[in-house]
Amino acid sequence: QQLMAESSVTMTLISETRKISFEPICAVKSSVDPWHSNAFAVSVGASFTEWFTSYVHSVVSGGFPIIREQIFRYVHDKTCVTRTGDIIISVSTSFLPELSSVHPPHYFFSYRIRIEMAKEAMPENACQLDSRYWKITNANGNVEEVQGPGVVGEFPVMRPGNVHEYTSCTTFTTPSGYMEGYYTFHRLSSKKDIFSVPIPRFHMRCPPSRGSAARQENDPNVTKQNEEPRGDGDSHRRTTMFVNVPGPMGRCLPPT
């Protein structure tokens, strides 16, 4: 009976996923050569059954959120959480092979950030997000700093128990990179009461590409992976401004 039940769930999910579009929210249409999504070994598991069972579990448990009828394969490290006062920040990431290519090197990542105010917070601690700051570093150590108002055009108000989630994206010309930064808030009771909340460092890495090493060795036209990353998906400007913010209490996927 258990086997029949699991088979029923599996067949139902297969039926449902056939109806779902997998195009991401941050999709940017661009021409890519044949070395795009097929070049990346994205499957994980000793067998299809193992992979699919893991996939089903991630969808059912909410690990892979369904947003606008699309399944997003985000990876969340439970240690990638920071808490500053009553504000809790957590991050999950997703590599998008369908928008990536090996040549020219273009690696597209989406990240989903959850901002939460603790339920036990005092009502007078309610606040509103004003701005964001990002430090984006690629695998070659090239750094881009980004600062801008709000997050994806929004200025969420946080009250006890409130949760705000949003999705944005970034690209690298190297197969991996990381981001870190902070948000600036003000208390609703006083706009002069301004404070910063650090965003934990989170790493983004694409899976190994099939034959990429051999292709780069044999093809002198393959672009060197030494360019800088491209923004955070929002309108932004470069900045050299720094502020004193406490160090993050968590991190994601330390570099190997």
Residue 38 counted as domain residue: no
- Residue 145 and residue 65 share a domain: no
Q: Is the pLDDT of residue 99 over 60?
A: yes
As given in the structure block, the two tokens for residue 68 are: 């606008």
Looking at the fold, whether 87 and 113 belong to one and the same domain comes out as: yes
In a domain, 218, yes or no: no
Is residue 122, in this structure, part of any structural domain at all? yes
pTM passes above 0.85 = no
Mean pLDDT of the chain: 72
On whether residue 115 sits in a domain, the answer given is yes
Residues 115, 185, single domain; the answer is: yes
Shared domain check, 156 and 126? yes
Torsion of CA 210, 215, 217, 222, to 10 degrees: -120
Same-domain check for residues 101 and 59: no
Full domain range(s) for residue 63: 1-14+21-26+52-71
Neighbouring C-alpha atoms within 13 Å toward the C-beta of 32: 20
Q: What are phi and psi of 65, to 5 degrees?
A: -70, 150
pLDDT tens, position by position, 165-207? 998 999 999 999 999 999 999 999 999 999 999 999 999 988 7
8 A C-beta contact, residue 118 and residue 95: no
| 183 assigned to some structural domain | yes
* 37 lies in some domain: no
Q: Give yes or no: residues 7 and 133 share one domain.
A: no
Residue 113 belongs to some domain of the structure: yes
Please name the residues in contact with 25: beta carbons below 8 A apart, sequence gap of 6 or more. Answer: 67, 68, 70, 110, 167
Is the domain of 81 the same as that of 126? yes
Please give the tally of structural domains in the chain.
2
